[in-house]
Amino acid sequence: MYAAEISRGNPTAFVFLIDQSGSMVDRWGGGAKSKAQEVADAINNLLYTLVMRCSKGDDVLDWFHVGVFGYGASVGACLNGAGSSEDLVPISQIAANPAKLEDRTKKVPDGAGGLVESVVKFPVWLKPVANGGTPMCAAFERVKDVVARWSGEHSMAYPPTIIHVTDGESTDGDPTEIIEALKKSGTEDGDALVFNIHISSKGGAQVRFPDAEEGLPDDYAKMLFRTSSLLPEPLRREAAREGFAVTDGSRGFAFNADLVQLIQFLDIGTRASNLR
Residues that bind another protein (CB under 8 A): 5, 7-9, 51-53, 55-58, 60, 95-96, 101, 108-109, 111-113, 120-123, 241, 267-275
> In the complex with another protein, which residue's Cβ is closer, 101 or 245?
101
* CA distances from residue 1 to 177, 187, 192, 253 in whole angstroms, order as listed: 23, 10, 11, 20
Which helix (H) or strand (E) segment holds residue 221: the answer is helix 219-227
DSSP class of residue 34 equals B
CA distance 237 to 224: 23
Least distance CB 60 / another protein (angstroms): 6
Is 32 or 275 the residue whose CB approaches another protein more closely?
275
What is the smallest separation between the CB atom of 2 and another protein, expressed in angstroms? Answer: 14
Which contacts (CB < 8 Å, 24+ apart) does range 73-79 have? 73/20, 73/131, 73/132, 73/133, 74/132, 75/135, 75/138, 75/139, 75/142, 76/142, 78/18, 78/20, 78/126, 78/129, 79/125, 79/126
Of the pair 203, 269, the CB lying nearest another protein is at 269
Q: Which is nearer to another protein, 30 or 57 (CB)?
A: 57
Min dist. Cβ of residue 272 to another protein (A): 4
Least separation in angstroms between CB 7 and another protein? 6
Between residues 40 and 54, which has the closer beta carbon with respect to another protein? 54
**Residue 267 beta carbon to another protein: minimum distance, rounded to whole angstroms:** 5
